Amino acid sequence: MVDLAERLGQIRVRVRAPGTEIEAELRGRTGISLSFEESVYEFIDESALERALASIARLLWAGWRRQYLSAIDETSLSIDANDFRDSNFIADRARIEAIGTSSDERIVITTVGMENFAVHIEPGTVREVPEDQFATKASAAATKLIQDFQAKVSELKKRYYE
């Protein structure tokens, strides 16, 4: 039988930004890849790309969360709020602000509670950064965002439960 950690590590979510030909895949908890169909990157501006990437972030998180809950359902674990402390923890977790930035600081992804996502791309980035490099940098920023959120959730758990 596959244990929960292994099952969570096997999660794969593939999404496409609505109305675009931009796709992303999340593997496990933090493995993200981004791809563009032919000629999409060269004709998109930063503003449209920001909106598309924010949509992708929402879709990836929703897909991951759905598979996570499915994996939990197959165990005896309860992740529901059982008391006032749990309710407060869940409310505080929903307010966690996390950020992920590319190494060159051209791409910044932010979230509040992994529900509301925003992406900022420095003007001129699409013109100056080749598609493959942009995809790598955006994926790295997204991974850092997830890691930042996870670290803050871990700290929050310590405050509430240790």
Q: What is the pLDDT of residues 128-154, one digit of tens each?
A: 999 999 999 999 999 999 999 999 999
pLDDT value of residue 4: 84
Check whether 1 has a pLDDT greater than 80.
no
pLDDT value of residue 5: 85
CA–chain centroid gap for 43, Å, is: 25
Q: 39 is written with which tokens?
A: 């000629």
pLDDT value of residue 3: 84
Mean pLDDT over each residue of the chain, to the nearest integer: 94
Q: What is the pLDDT of residues 16-59, one digit of tens each?
A: 999 999 999 999 888 999 999 999 999 999 999 999 999 999 99
User: Which spans in 10-130 are helix H?
Assistant: 40-43, 46-73, 84-93, 125-128
CATH of the domain at 31: 3.30.1310.10
145: containing domain: 4-161
> How many separate domains does the chain show?
1
Q: Which of 3-17, 95-109, 148-162 has the lowest mean pLDDT?
A: 3-17
- Compute φ and ψ for 99, nearest 5 degrees: -140, 145
In the chain, % of residues over pLDDT 70: 99
pLDDT value of residue 51: 98
- Name the residue type at position 129: V
> Are 125 and 140 spatial neighbours (Cβ–Cβ below 8 Å)?
no
Distances (CA, A) of 115 to 3, 93, 151: 27, 11, 17
Whole-model pTM?
A: 0.92
pLDDT value of residue 2: 63
pLDDT value of residue 100: 98
Check whether 81 has a pLDDT greater than 80.
no
